[in-house]
């Protein structure tokens, strides 16, 4: 049975990846942006435009273009960015660590607060804590991210002066730390530069807090729903009849049962954050993958747009597969 499930997974993954590549290719052909004009410019002579079109292979049949696109991706070549004049893979490798750092801190904050908050809300169903958590979750789903980001900057940066301005690092610390991992806080620690570390952490606090707020609302709501279902189970009633303490029933028995679906929620939430928090990165001038994708789209840099889109989709597919495998590993009923 395990071999059958593994075989089904191994068959599904290539099909999913092929569909991802196909959709990415079609996006590049549907978007009303001429990649040739983006490279040579609107005022280029017609013969230059035609020669560039021939060199890019855009004069060939669509099927042939797609096969060429697949071969190019399989070789790790995502083309060259018009905006930066660098290979797209090099740009993504430079911008992705910033998104990774932001998303990782956000999901850690959201998990540490959201999970116990949702559990306690379910335990005290109908009480003031439960009502407050439900109101908080409603606000998290209703308030637009750009509104919260702008309010955060206005209050903590412009009015109170508690937080540094937008960006990933202050001017005094720019290029002061050697890039090893691309994660600025980690690089500062490896270099032993505590000033750069605290500066990077201060710049990280606001955008990570904004992202954590929205993730926390979803995680708390799901934890509450899972725990409510468990607390109404017969084994909880039996445990109470046997005289077990409420703390032991909640955290030793009920929470262990909701941990499996909750892990899946956390992994998929993390995947959503890693896709690139476009609005958050734009508001806080955070040089991550989301901002890179937005700027590339505004500059009609289709190689960069398609490359970043492909990487975003690949991240989601991989983490979705990881969540599925983790679910099977942790829950013997699925196995």
Using pLDDT thresholds of 50, 70 and 90, give the confidence band for residue 33: low
Where on the phi/psi map is residue 119: left (φ > 0), alpha (ψ -120 to 50), or beta? alpha
pLDDT at 184 > cutoff 80:
yes
- Nearest Cα to Cα of residue 307 among 114, 76, 99, 85: 76
- As a whole number of angstroms, the distance between CA 107 and CA 98 comes to 14
- As a whole number of angstroms, the distance between CA 255 and CA 197 comes to 36
Residue-wise pLDDT tens digits, 78-137: 777 877 778 888 888 888 899 899 999 999 999 999 999 988 988 888 888 888 888 888
How is 247-313 classified by DSSP, letter by letter? HHIIIIIIHHHHHHHHHHHHHHHHHHHHT--HHHHHHTT--SHHHHHHHHHHTT-HHHHHHHHHHHH
The confidence score (pLDDT) of residue 85 equals: 76
3-class DSSP state of 232: coil
- As a whole number of angstroms, the distance between CA 199 and CA 192 comes to 13
What is the pTM for the complete model shown? 0.83
The confidence score (pLDDT) of residue 4 equals: 63
Domain range list for the chain: 2-74, 89-163+205-330
The confidence score (pLDDT) of residue 105 equals: 92
Q: Among 42-46, 96-100, 111-115, 244-248, where is mean pLDDT lowest?
A: 42-46
Which residue carries 């901002």 as its tokens? 291
- Nearest Cα to Cα of residue 140 among 206, 223, 219, 214: 214
- As a whole number of angstroms, the distance between CA 24 and CA 151 comes to 35
Q: Determine the topology of domain 89-163+205-330 in CATH.
A: MetI-like fold (1.10.3720)
């Amino acid at each position: 049975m395990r071999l059958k499930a593994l075989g089904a997974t191994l068959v599904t993954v290539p099909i999913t990846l092929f569909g991802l590549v196909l959709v990415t290719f079609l996006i590049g052909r549907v978007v009303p942006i001429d990649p040739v004009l983006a490279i040579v410019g609107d005022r280029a002579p017609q013969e230059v435009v035609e020669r560039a079109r021939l060199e890019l292979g855009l004069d060939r049949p669509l099927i042939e273009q797609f096969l060429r696109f697949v071969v190019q991706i399989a070789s790790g070549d995502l083309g060259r960015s018009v905006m930066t004049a660098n290979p797209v893979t090099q740009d993504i490798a430079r911008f992705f660590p910033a998104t990774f750092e932001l998303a990782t801190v956000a999901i850690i904050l959201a998990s540490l607060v959201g999970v116990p908050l949702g559990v306690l809300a379910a335990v005290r169903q109908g009480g003031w804590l439960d009502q407050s958590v439900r109101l908080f979750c409603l606000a998290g789903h209703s308030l637009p991210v750009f509104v919260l980001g702008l309010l955060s900057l206005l209050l903590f940066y412009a009015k109170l002066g508690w937080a540094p301005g937008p960006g990933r690092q202050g001017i005094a610390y720019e290029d002061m730390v050697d890039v090893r991992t691309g994660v600025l806080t980690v690089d500062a620690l490896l270099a032993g530069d505590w000033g750069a570390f605290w500066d990077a952490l201060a710049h990280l606090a606001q955008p990570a807090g904004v992202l954590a707020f929205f993730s926390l609302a979803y995680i708390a709501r799901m934890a509450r729903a899972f725990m409510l279902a468990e607390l109404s189970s017969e084994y909880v009633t039996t445990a109470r009849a046997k005289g077990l303490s409420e703390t032991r029933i909640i955290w030793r028995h009920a929470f262990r049962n909701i941990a499996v679906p909750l892990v899946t929620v956390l992994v998929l939430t993390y995947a959503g954050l890693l896709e690139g928090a476009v609005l958050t990165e734009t508001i806080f001038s955070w040089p991550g993958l989301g901002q890179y994708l937005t700027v590339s789209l505004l500059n009609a840099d289709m190689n960069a747009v398609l490359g970043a889109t492909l990487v975003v989709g690949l991240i989601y597919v991989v983490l979705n597969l990881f969540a599925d495998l983790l679910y099977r590993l942790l829950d013997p009923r699925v196995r």
